[in-house]
């Protein structure tokens, strides 16, 4: 286990399209364990591999309530979305800022687990927002590219 450094959106890694994971091996498991530790340490809701400098299609989302419950999504694809939500969104790679972003209110994804087995996961509200935000990272998209505007200091 080990904490990884979270890159900011100034780094080129955050703006690249990530490659699929093809090897479900010890190296992937170490990455997932390190990312989970990094996410829990950060207090964030989600973390994508490019945020720690790894250009692979790996995302973690904390789907828990009061207790963290880390969902590992490898090679995730958006299967279905519905509804709409509009509100503030932040990113560990854009520290100290929040922007207003429109997202679907419901999202269903398909992904592989750490052993390569496909499964589906779904969520509403914050989880749906997080799925969309994190999957965008895998295509080099930061929320600041799809937001309306940053929140002002008064609004924060």
Mark the segment that binds Zn ion (CB under 5 A) among 11-19, 79-87, 91-99, 122-130.
91-99
Distance in Å, CB of 95 to Zn ion, minimum: 11
Catalytic residue numbers read: 134
- Closest CB to Zn ion among residues 12, 22: 12
Q: Which residue is nearest to Zn ion (CB)?
A: 91
Residue 4 CB partners (closer than 8 Å, separation 6+): 34, 35, 38, 52, 53
- Closest CB to Zn ion among residues 91, 138: 91
Residue 79 CB partners (closer than 8 Å, separation 6+): 108, 109, 110, 120
Among 31, 49, 70, 91, binds Zn ion (CB under 5 A): 91
Residue the block writes with tokens 């990312």: 35
Distance in Å, CB of 133 to Zn ion, minimum: 6
Position 73 contacts Zn ion (CB under 5 A): no
Position 32 contacts Zn ion (CB under 5 A): no
Position 74 contacts Zn ion (CB under 5 A): no
Residue 133 near residue 104 (C-beta atoms within 8 A): no
Position 39 contacts Zn ion (CB under 5 A): no
Q: What is the DSSP letter of 10?
A: T
Q: What is the DSSP letter of 20?
A: P
Closest CA to 37 of 72, 10, 65, 12: 72
Position 130 contacts Zn ion (CB under 5 A): no
- Other CB atoms closer than 10 Å to residue 22's CB: what's the count? 10
Residues found near Zn ion in the complex (CB under 5 A): 91
């Amino acid at each position: 286990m080990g904490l990884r450094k979270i890159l900011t959106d100034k780094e080129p890694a955050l703006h690249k399209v990530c490659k699929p994971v093809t090897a479900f091996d010890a190296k992937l498991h170490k990455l997932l364990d390190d990312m989970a530790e990094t996410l829990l340490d950060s207090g964030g809701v989600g973390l994508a591999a490019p945020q720690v400098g790894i250009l692979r299609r790996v995302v973690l989302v904390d789907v828990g309530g009061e207790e963290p419950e880390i969902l590992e999504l490898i090679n995730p694809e958006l299967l279905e979305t519905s509804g709409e939500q509009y509100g503030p969104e932040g990113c560990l790679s854009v520290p100290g800022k929040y922007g207003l972003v429109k997202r679907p209110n419901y999202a269903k994804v398909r992904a592989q687990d750490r052993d390569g087995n496909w499964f589906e996961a779904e969520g509403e509200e914050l989880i749906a927002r997080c799925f969309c935000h994190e999957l965008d990272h895998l295509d080099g998209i930061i929320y600041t590219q799809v937001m309306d505007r940053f929140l002002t200091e008064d609004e924060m």
